[in-house]
Amino acid sequence: MRYVLFDVDGTLIDAVSNQRRVWGTWAVRYGLDAEEVYRVALRTRPMETFAQVAAERDPRECLATLHELEDEDVRSGIYAAFDGASELLNCLPPQVWALVTSNYEHRVRGRFLRTGLPVPDVIVDAAAVEEGKPSPVPYLRAAARLGAEPGDCLVIEDAPSGVQSGLRAGMTVWGVNADVAVEGVHRHFVSLREAVPHILAFVSGPQGDADRSQGGG
């Protein structure tokens, strides 16, 4: 059996404007430059962001404020699933796919509810692992919960840290939703829509092995 492990933000759900707005509001509360804070937040985890942009502040207070703003955004923000996401997820048997996210499960469920996407049985979120991406731990945890071997798993990602996480886990990694391929991916698709038939083919047949042996492209 073949399995598919999906990143969420930037892969299945377009949340860039939401993330920018949340971090912008957070920055204003602390009297910081919103653009600079967002640039740092894009490449670091929240606690690392606080250490860089608000070192004199209590990081627990900073995190509590961020969580408050993110939860409010899930309730009132505007979200859109990427083209092809609904078709793809509804075509996959529930037992063969999972979500692996650096966010928290309750927010993912809220976003999926807002966008009408089906929710899988397995969600590995920030609270489920001590080491986040680019560590292989999140993807290995998802595979274990599905009862899957890493070599039978396909990772769908949009970000360098997620790609590295999947590669270090020993999985096939395909990149989506970017004009330029992330370094290391075995295959690259400009959009999720373009990848849909290939993902379904990976799950249903041996073509995935051929794709992996071909390298990036």
CA distances from 215 to 154, 155, 174, 183, 184 (A): 14, 14, 10, 11, 9
Concerning whether 9 is annotated as a catalytic residue, the answer is yes
* Tokens 């290995």 belong to residue: 140
Q: Is 180 helix (H, G, I), strand (E, B) or coil?
A: coil
- Residue 134: alpha-carbon gap to chain centroid: 11
Annotated catalytic residue within 9, 73, 125, 158: 9
Is residue 153 within 8 Å of 141, Cβ to Cβ?
Answer: no
Q: Which of these, 170, 173, 168, 126, lies nearest to 148 by C-alpha position?
A: 170
User: In a 10 Å sphere around its CB, with 0-12 CB exposed, 13-18 middle and 19+ buried, how is residue 215 labelled?
Assistant: exposed
Concerning whether 58 is annotated as a catalytic residue, the answer is no
| Residues with catalytic function | 7, 9
